[in-house]
Amino acid sequence: MIDGLDGRVIELFTAEPRIGVLEASRRLGVARGTVQARLDRLARQGVIRGYGPEIDPAALGYGVTAFVTLQIRQAGGHDPVVARLARVPEVIELHTITGGGDMLCRIVARNNQDLQRVIDVIVDVQGVERASSVISLATQIPHRTLPLVRAAAGDGD
Amino acid sequence: MIDGLDGRVIELFTAEPRIGVLEASRRLGVARGTVQARLDRLARQGVIRGYGPEIDPAALGYGVTAFVTLQIRQAGGHDPVVARLARVPEVIELHTITGGGDMLCRIVARNNQDLQRVIDVIVDVQGVERASSVISLATQIPHRTLPLVRAAAGDGD
DNA sequence: CAGATCGCTGGACACCTTGTACAGTCAGAC
DNA sequence: GTCTGACTGTACAAGGTGTCCAGCGATCTG
């Protein structure tokens, strides 16, 4: 899927996103066209999804993260619930998970009191039967993909 | 914290990360220097953490995502466990959560069989007593922060 | 083996963006 | 009234980007 050079390209752009293709080619010791071709291919394959700015909710004042497991009422299915949860800005991520029609969502709030409000909003969503939440006390490993890239690039994968 | 223009800047760069400051200023109807100043400030405040390429694990062959709740043995504390889990490339994220010394981690695997292997690796980590996992069947809302940005920009926040 | 294909190299070109600076304008604060 | 801060519009040098092309070595194929 990706080779060693792909891995190094991704690694370099992850470490220093602003360097540009030309500087990257110098650092990697390959021609500029090569780096460009690799980036094009990686984007085409969907490996690189985009270069959007990463927003830190904490810096926006949303310092509390929690994971909420939802019990969904069977009747009506998931979709209406998803649509309603999508309208809650504090819902950062939402997954359907294994186990009796449940969902897992990641939410943020300004503080613990605000978290109560957000959870109430979610519980009030039509179709949600129960919600049980765990609060993230600390993020030991922030979202990362680099080791995965290295693993994928390392294997002849 | 951030105002309406900040919100529009973030929104625009999220939608089209490659446009550049000049084009952004044209679209937003403000001077280039203004956009530049806003971006600088947002980066300084930590709101914009960076512009690294977003990697899609699925495109790398890791199509399965799961959330694993870990029971940690009290003796020794979390840190050694964190250090060991950090060495597992499939561990994408790790949080300390509320409730008797537990942790929640997000992992990926190539398929369900591979997931078994990854979970075994995690359970084998010294200090991990038990692991219970839920598999993500579908991602209803992929990680997003835009609504939050809008909410923060909307309030006089 | 000859021929074709593919990816990489290294160079070239026009075009455009960036970084930076500066004077002018305007609104709000003191 | 005056000061401060933010935005505007402009300018300039420096450098990167998109694009194209010829050449080269490795690999595959008949």
What does the pLDDT look like over B5-20, one tens digit per residue?
999 999 999 999 999 9
Q: Do residue B92 and residue A144 have CB atoms under 8 angstroms apart?
A: yes
Query: For residue A13, what pLDDT band results from cuts at 50, 70 and 90?
Result: very high
Q: Is the pLDDT of residue A115 over 90?
A: yes
Summarised one tens digit per residue, pLDDT across range B64-99 is 999 999 999 988 888 999 999 999 999 999 999 998
Class of domain B57-136: alpha beta
pLDDT confidence tier of residue B157, bands split at 50, 70 and 90: low
Surface of B (9-28) touching A: CB under 8 A:
10, 13-14, 17-18
Kindly report the bases of strand D lying within 7 A of a protein C-beta atom. Answer: 6-11, 15-21
- Interface probe with A: pick from B2, B13, B47, B48, most Cβ of A within 10 Å: B47
Return the domain boundaries, chain A: 4-53, 57-136
Q: Which of residues 58-117 of A touch B (CB under 8 A)?
A: 58-62, 65, 67, 78, 82, 85-86, 88-99, 102-106, 108
Q: What is the mean pLDDT of residues B39-51?
A: 94
What one-character-per-residue DSSP string does B48-109 give? Answer: EEE-PPEE-GGGGT--EEEEEEEEE-STT-SHHHHHHHHT-TTEEEEEEETTTTEEEEEEEE
User: Domain A4-53: which CATH class?
Assistant: mainly alpha
Q: What are the two backbone dihedrals, phi and then psi, of residue A89, each rounded to the nearest 5 degrees?
A: -60, -30
Best of A60, A96, A132 to disrupt the B interface (most B CBs within 10 Å) is A60
Q: How many residues does chain B have?
A: 157
> Could you tell me if A44 lies within 8 Å of chain B, comparing CB atoms?
no
Which chain A residues are within 8 Å of B148, Cβ to Cβ?
Answer: 55, 57, 60, 62, 89-90, 92, 108
* pTM for this prediction: 0.91
Please tell me whether any atom of strand D lies within 7 Å of the Cβ of A33: yes
Check CB contact under 8 Å for B148 and A60.
yes
pLDDT value of position B76: 82
Per the listing, tokens 């109560």 go with: A116
